[in-house]
Homo-oligomer: A and B are copies of this chain.
């Protein structure tokens, strides 16, 4: 089911390299290439924030209604993943950290295996980044990320190779190529960036959470520039830049720029739990120009999207049942759908719009707070 949608969006590509002078060496690389769906011209991303998974059935829920408490455990979290996958048929599932709640997970690997099991079973590609709690069980941050990368159906990577040393674990990007059979089959039309926003500051004079470092930002800049060149290069050169989306765990300081007058969603937490220091990643993204929206977790009771300087800053809202929340305020997930425009010749072109909404874990998986994050016609005015 979800698997059928995934099969449409994911092609197994065998790439043959011919090289090396007289002795030709043929190398086959199996790669799951994300691409837009050929029927609807869509690419659908499900964001799951803050599962806080621990030991499964024996791990109780937090902040649910008294009548829910007895039957509630980590298994409610994985049940919610299965429900929302069935309902939304995503082409990619992104887990934005605090996937496990390390303090309560007896075995980090076992906890991750159980937490990601619904994604693995769906046969839909998935990607994950780290939060601030993932390393608090039996594995280090590096160990957690390495374990994730070895799991089935994931496109997660520890870090890119062949560049400068990058801070953190889980900095990588994924390209979403054009529709199979269209001119843009080998172009990335939607660029997804995944970053490790760290856990806690190690600088005594800066209390609080970690931040995205210059090494990560330089990698992001270089990657964005490279993708822009590919987008505008022959064959089938495109104008400008393909839109990008960035996923990480801890909100940027700029998330505190909003109130109910200029965001969609809710801000039930008094403060934004961003790092106390501004490391400039928002500025770096504005300068690069391709990222249209950022998606974080971390604050379970904030689920809004607000726009600042052309970039939407969005929360997913808390997903996991063994995580603080608010009794009676449904756990939730965020969907993002990018849609292609039709060309004059009736084929699929570049991305036309990016929309988002949330799904609540209530009886009807109610969809709320639908909004357009970006559309090509609107953005041209500002370019």
Give bound CA distance, A203 to B280, whole Å: 15
Interface-facing stretch out of A23-31, A60-68, A94-102, A214-222? A214-222
Task: Collect the chain B residues with CB atoms within 8 Å of residue A280's CB.
Answer: 211, 214, 217, 277-281, 283
Task: Collect the chain B residues with CB atoms within 8 Å of residue A221's CB.
Answer: 214-215
Indicate whether A205 reaches chain B with its CB closer than 8 angstroms: yes
Give bound CA distance, A311 to B204, whole Å: 14
Task: Collect the chain B residues with CB atoms within 8 Å of residue A218's CB.
Answer: 164, 214-215, 218
B284 touches A279 (CB 8 A): yes
Indicate whether A287 reaches chain B with its CB closer than 8 angstroms: yes
Interface residues of A toward B: which range?
Answer: 20 to 34
Indicate whether A327 reaches chain B with its CB closer than 8 angstroms: no
Indicate whether A309 reaches chain B with its CB closer than 8 angstroms: yes
Indicate whether A38 reaches chain B with its CB closer than 8 angstroms: no
A22 to B: closest C-beta gap in Å: 32
Indicate whether A286 reaches chain B with its CB closer than 8 angstroms: yes
A268 to B: closest C-beta gap in Å: 27
B279 touches A283 (CB 8 A): yes
A199 to B: closest C-beta gap in Å: 15
When C-beta atoms are compared, the residue in chain B nearest to A280 turns out to be B280
Binary B-proximity of A184-223 (CB < 8 A = 1, otherwise 0)? 0000000000000000000111100001011101100100
Indicate whether A306 reaches chain B with its CB closer than 8 angstroms: no
When C-beta atoms are compared, the residue in chain B nearest to A279 turns out to be B280
Task: Collect the chain B residues with CB atoms within 8 Å of residue A287's CB.
Answer: 203, 206
A278 touches B283 (CB 8 A): yes
Q: List 18 A-B contacts (CB under 8 A).
A: A204-B382, A205-B309, A205-B310, A206-B286, A213-B284, A214-B214, A214-B218, A214-B280, A217-B280, A253-B278, A277-B282, A278-B278, A278-B280, A278-B282, A278-B283, A279-B283, A279-B284, A280-B281
